[in-house]
Chain A
Amino acid sequence: DTGVSQDPRHKITKRGQNVTFRCDPISEHNRLYWYRQTLGQGPEFLTYFQNEAQLEKSRLLSDRFSAERPKGSFSTLEIQRTEQGDSAMYLCASSLWESETQYFGPGTRLLVL
């Protein structure tokens, strides 16, 4: 069990560029979550996968955001045409089927200039 990993850990981009983040959950965890955390706030739910199916999306996830989990293992979160307001820490978490405990990765910190 190597824990949840995220890549990259830091990303600086210019406004209008596209960025993609990757999350590798703990192996055999079939549930995967994405959260966003802005400075001084608690994390906010973005979206959730059960295996490869995306089952819920927050209204925070605008049309510029897309998430995938094509084979039910790793997941990617893409932000198109980034805006300064997208600057935040993007956290990924995973859990086992019917478990209430989510294990978080170290996060990807995005700065949009």
Chain B
Amino acid sequence: AQSVTQLGSHVSVSEGALVLLRCNYSSSVPPYLFWYVQYPNQGLQLLLKYTSAATLVKGINGFEAEFKKSETSFHLTKPSAHMSDAAEYFCAVSRIIQGAQKLVFGQGTRLTINP
């Protein structure tokens, strides 16, 4: 069964510093992997996705993630944090059910940006 583990429920960085949010997955088949962001009292917005094409995936708002099969990881990075990046971030793996993609989410990482 597919699963996702996000290392660190809270991450705090200074404005302008590197952002690194960790995600490890478990999947018996080549996975589709996703990062979503959730701002307070809002739904989830897709940041980026890996679908077995390029292993380095670029997303919105300057975020990118690298798929590393040998490490079963899909860590999210951003070179320079901005105050507007403060939010909850979720890593997800998808499992196909009758042709559709059921998402299995990690527990989330709350990112705080210090001025």
The proximity string for A residues 94-106 relative to B, scoring 1 for CB distances below 8 Å and 0 otherwise, is 0100111111111
Interface size on A, residues (CB 8 A): 29
Q: What 1/0 mask marks residues of chain A from 71 to 113 whose CB sits below 8 Å from any chain B CB? A: 0000000000000000000010101001111111111010000
B36 contact set on A, CB distance < 8 A: 104
- Within the assembled complex, what's the spacing in Å between the Cα atoms of A55 and B97? 9
Interface SS of A by simple majority: strand
A45 within 8 A of B: yes
Interface residues of B, Cβ cutoff 8 Å to A: 4, 9, 32, 36, 41-46, 49, 51, 90, 92, 94, 97-108
Residues of chain A whose beta carbon lies under 8 Å from any beta carbon of chain B: 4, 6, 31, 33, 35, 40-45, 48, 50, 55-56, 91, 93, 95, 98-107, 109
